[in-house]
Amino acid sequence: MACGFRRSIASQLSRVLDLPPENLIKSISAIPISKKEEVADFQLSVDSLLENNSDLSRPDIQVQAKRLAEKLKCDTVVSEISTGPRTVNFKINRELLTKAVLQQVIEDGSKYGLKSELFSGLPQRRIVIDFSSPNVAKKFHVGHLRSTLIGNFIANLKEALGHQVTRINYLGDWGMQFGLLGTGFQLFGYEEKLQSNPLQHLFEVYVQINKEAADDKNIAKLAQEFFQRLELGDVQALSLWQRFRDLSVEEYTHVYKRLGIYFDEYSGESFYREKSQEVLKLLDSKGLLQKTMKGTAVVDLSGKGDPSSFCTVMRSDGTSLYATRDLAAAMDRMAKYNFDTMIYVTDKGQKKHFQQVFQILKIMGYNWAERCLHVPFGVVQGMKTRRGEVTFLEDVLNEIRLRMLQNMASIKTSKRLEDPQQTAERVGLAALIIQDFRGLLVSDYQFSWDRIFQSRGDTGVFLQYTHARLHSLEETFGCGYLNDFNTACLQEPQSVSILQHLLRFDEIIYRTSQDLQPRHIVSYLLTLSHLAAVAHKTLQIKDSPPEVAAARLQLFKAVRSVLVNGMKLLGITPVCKM
């Protein structure tokens, strides 16, 4: 594996530079493959050495690189040493590269890339991730889809790295919208419709009451009174609210099952309606609560009376707000989980909200507020079904499945499937996830049905197709020769490019763990799939001598194994036929 080669190179460098090998490991990286020419396998960044060692003077880095390269010697691991722009490059003995990489992929299996030197000494942390968080009594809006997919990816990544992860779904199940909804249901609700299609009916009621409220100021007053009754624990109001919540959670669970996503805890703003009052008392006792002329209560985050830095934590009627409940939830989670990191995955529009929540926690004296992190994401634009604007996630999932089934039916090479519906759903979800994860998370992006379903190019459909094709190879030619293959049979440029790319997997995971951006893994897997497609055409197994066939099969098996590892981190379930 790459770390074994890195350590070998670092050991030789440490003798020449008189630095501990551990200080050099992260300055040695696998070189990305090039379509134009064969490249070396590893490079040492001389720039990063200079950052760590003041004894090396800066002026002419290229001269420094050349001098360093001259002091190094080839050995049983390194067959060639050269210099590049500001780097020293190392080419690994080809047969050793082949044997070491393929054996490591087989031995490590689902842990390949995670046992790397890059992660040595990584402390095991307790991590809480708050994601998805749909609003109760409204259908699961596509706006929550990105939070769900991104949060699941981060949880998968952290778990793969050995951390103890708690996945929390913090439902929007409290607030003034329930005053509106409760009032609306009393005015326009039908019990039969609530029984037959609960969320659709509640959504219709919510739309209607909002229309009425725009023309009738009395509606807003009734809604405020209903929410006050909820906050005061009125049995009748709470009973109606509980029904809305239970029906909503039941439908969400069904949607999450389709997405292959689970949660350790379903929480919600309602859990903190009483604790938010305790937060207000605590803020008051610390002298942080200020009353305004309107009767609301704010925390001045500037400390200088600047109104633009006020964070409102209580309405004039004494009821709590989103920020108050988030403060109560954060304090409760710290007491319950004693987390090392807590990550909130929401859209970038909530950036200021979380900055204020974290700042209030800090001025309340909770230093652990620094362990709280907001991962923001951009807006999906243009997501429409054939019936028009998308409101609900279930509509998107149904549309994806339907379109994928039609696509699969039109392709002559499609295999007969035991469960075409499930395959279509999994391939469609892969398409959705890859489109979502290709760019920076914070960027908005334009959704495109046409692009999402392309079977060629950089799409989730192409990833699934590659996996199914490689699985078919193993089924057709068997999976023998697992440990005994001739490395000399894998020296073609196509084989070497794949081996070099497999070398980089641990670095890709490491980089992703630093910035939590899935695009690194997406780009890596798409390149791996393109390399596999080229190799599949040129490195024939059928009619090749047994020794050559066995070695090539081993190479394709390694590609599929790493493809599976990466896809699962992203939240994609690989399909074996399509």
- Amino acid letter, residue 87: T
C-alpha to C-alpha distance for 124 and 144, rounded to whole angstroms: 29
Q: Maximum Cα–Cα distance for the chain, whole Å?
A: 87
CA angle (453 as vertex; 449, 459 as ends), nearest 5: 110
Residue found by looking up tokens 């809305």 in the block? 244
* Contact between 248 and 132 (Cβ < 8 Å): no
- Amino acid letter, residue 396: V
Tell me the CB-side half-sphere exposure of residue 228, using CA atoms within 13 A. 10
- Both tokens of residue 212? 């009425």
Catalytic residue, from 138, 374, 471, 501: name it. 138
C-alpha to C-alpha distance for 350 and 170, rounded to whole angstroms: 15
Distance of CA 124 to the CA centre of its chain: 19
Alpha-carbon distance values, 257 to 81, 260, 395, 422 (Å): 52, 5, 15, 12
Burial class (CB in 10 A: 0-12, 13-18, 19+), 126: middle
C-alpha to C-alpha distance for 4 and 97, rounded to whole angstroms: 11
Active site residue 353: no
Distance of CA 357 to the CA centre of its chain: 23
Active site residue 254: no
Query: Taking Cα atoms as reference points, which of 432, 272, 428 lies closest to residue 357?
Result: 272
Active site residue 467: no
Query: Taking Cα atoms as reference points, which of 139, 40, 52 lies closest to residue 93?
Result: 40
Q: What is the DSSP letter of 263?
A: -
C-alpha to C-alpha distance for 466 and 345, rounded to whole angstroms: 31
CB atoms within 10 A of CB 213: 18
Spell 445-469 as b/e; 16+ CB within 10 A means b. bebebeebbebeebbbbbbbbbbbb
The β-bridge relationship of strands 78-84 and 28-30 is unpaired
Catalytic residue, from 144, 163, 467, 557: name it. 144
C-alpha to C-alpha distance for 509 and 160, rounded to whole angstroms: 10
The β-bridge relationship of strands 384-385 and 388-389 is antiparallel
Q: H/E element holding 347?
A: strand 341-347
Catalytic residue, from 141, 193, 415, 568: name it. 141
3-class DSSP assignment, residue 187: helix
Helix axes 217-231, 198-215, angle to 10 degrees: 130
* Contact between 532 and 465 (Cβ < 8 Å): no
- Which sequence positions are flagged as catalytic? 138, 141, 144
